[in-house]
Structures are given as structure tokens and as C-alpha cells.
Amino acid sequence: MLIGKKRLGEVASSEITDYQTYLNRRQFLNGAAIVASASILPLSISHAEVEAVPTFKDLVKSQYSTEEQPNTFEEITTYNNFYEFGTNKTSPAQMATNFPDKSKPWRVVIEGECDNPGEFDYDDLIRPFTLEERIYNFRCVEGWSMVIPWVGFPLADLIKRAQPNSRAKFVEFTTLYDPEQMPGQKRAVLDWPYTEGLRMDEAMNPLTILSVGLYGQELLGQNGAPIRLVVPWKYGFKSIKSIVRIRFVETLPVSAWMKAGPREYGFYSNVNPNVDHPRWSQSRERRIGEFLKRKTKLFNGYGEQVAHLYTDMDLTKNF
């Protein structure tokens, strides 16, 4: 008897939680939690735990923020894609409660085609930059979206300090590889560690930020602590989480999802309602917390700021 094997990156549909199933499961589990033991992993974050998260002071309000109503803190922190902690939408919030390990200093390596490379402690990395609050619409390739009030700083500011040379055409990012902290990496769902990349002009665009928090507080593990990329006109998987390496390169980086499914996930991954994923339409999306779907906007609604980057490109081929 032949036993079929899943291709790298192919996740069974039973492992991907749609939003209505998620809500039904939460209603059941939240009711059960009233009589459950306190030793059971929490499904959501208690009020006390939220208060314990350090708060950023003197945030600058960004001119690039949307005027849309943000999703709630609970929605943003309990419904997540972070395969390093499991492919189910609820797994990251349950499995990343102690991530990152505070006993291990977080360091980010900056290297490649630049004149000012180095290895930096997290605090030293972000200290020179002014932190802003930016409310961005964040679109997932699976047909759902959120509006998130990120805390971060322009990636361009960091790039200028790294001083890339003339050979630097792309920026490659790498997530931490630590299966003991990130148990999802023990499964060959993707070719770990997770990698992503941007063209240099995309990385320098003022919309692109490195985020270190949301709702004025430090990022939680399930949202990509302690530092992640946010590229609001692209699908969410481009916004790589828990970054440990930033490398300036001359040739186009091959990202984790490009390796896993090149027919489904291209390098650019711009939000484009006219290009369907092979297994579903991208023309409409469901905002988490809403019942009805809405039309998906080209470039996620940020066309005024980014359309010029792709003037001479066929975005149905360069997807």
C-alpha cells in the first residue's frame, strides 16, 4: 500500500482554523475554563498579564495610520499565524506564553553588503530610534484581516545606519531557529529557519517598519516578539516575526514560502484582488470580528504610497 506524504509546506486543511470555527471553539473553551484547573494553559491573556507587559512611553502618532477601528487586543493576540508554534490559529497564543526566554539575550545580526555590520543586543538595536504608533490594516493570504496598532520605527532608519553598499539590491530576514522554544520547528512544515526578503526600495519605503509592540505594549510571543517586520501592502506572511538576522544581498532571496509552494507564494506577495491563490479567491476578505466579507483593495489600500514601485511590472506574473 502506498502512503502519500505531504509536500514541504503543505498543511492539511483540517489544521487551518477558519474564524467561525475559532469563535465556536473559544465559546466552548471559555465556558469550560470556569471550572477548569488553573494549571491548564490559558486560551487568552488575563487582565493581570496584560498589565504586567511593559508600556512604551511618548509614542509618536504616525501620519500613515489608517482611520479604521483597530481590532481588540484579545483578537490580535489569540488568532495568529506563527507556524513555529503550530499551524492552528490558536496554537501560538497557547504555546508562546514564555517566548522569548528572558534568560537568553536577544541579538540581531546585521551583515552582508553593508559598511556598518555587527551583532546587536535588542535594546541597543532599537535605542537610537523614535518609536511610533502606526495603525495598519493587516491582510492574511487566507482571506482574513485585522487592523492593528503597531509600535515600531521605519526600517529605512535602520538601513541608513547599516550603510548598505551599491551591491545591496535586496534585504533578507531570518527568524530565530530554536525548536526547544519554538516547538513547531520540530515538524517539517517549512524549511526552517523562516526567511523572507524585500527589494531595497520596498524596504526603504516609509510604510515599512520594524515593530516591537502593539497597543502601546511590547510584542507578545505569538505576535513575533521581540522584533518583527510589518509591510502593510503585502500579505501577512511577508512580515517575518522574531528576527535574528538582517542581511543585505545582491540577488533575490528565496523565502520560506517560496521554497514550500512556488506556485502559490511569490516573492512580491502584494495584496492583489485580481490574483487568486490556487486554492481560494483573494477578491474578498473577512475582517476578524465581523460577519460579512468586504472587497479586497489593491495593495491593501496603500496604492498611493507604493504603486509607483511596480509601474513597469505585470503583477499577475510577479505575484
- Return the pLDDT at 21: 52
User: What pLDDT, on a 0 to 100 scale, did the predictor assign at position 10?
Assistant: 53
Position 185: which residue type?
A: Q
CA 138 to chain centre: 9
Pairwise CA distance, residues 270 & 316, whole Å = 10
pLDDT for residue 153:
98
| Pairing outcome for strands 144-154 and 284-287 | parallel
Amino acid 53: pLDDT: 58
pLDDT at 52: 43
Which DSSP letter does residue 45 get? -
Q: What is the mean pLDDT of each run of 10 residues along the chain (319 residues)?
A: 40 49 47 35 39 74 96 97 97 97 96 98 96 97 96 98 98 98 97 98 98 96 98 98 98 97 95 91 95 96 98 94
DSSP secondary structure string, 111-169? Answer: EESBSS-EEEEHHHHHTTS--EEEEEEEE-TTSEEEEEEEEEEEHHHHHHHH-B-TT--
- Which domains does the chain show, CATH number per domain? 15-310 (3.90.420.10)
How far apart are the C-alpha atoms of 210 and 225, rounded to whole Å? Answer: 11
- Specify the pTM: 0.86
Nearest to 306 by CA among 170, 197, 202, 171: 202
**Residues in contact with 240: Cβ distance below 8 Å, sequence separation at least 6, in sequence order:** 173, 174, 175, 194, 195, 196, 224, 228, 229
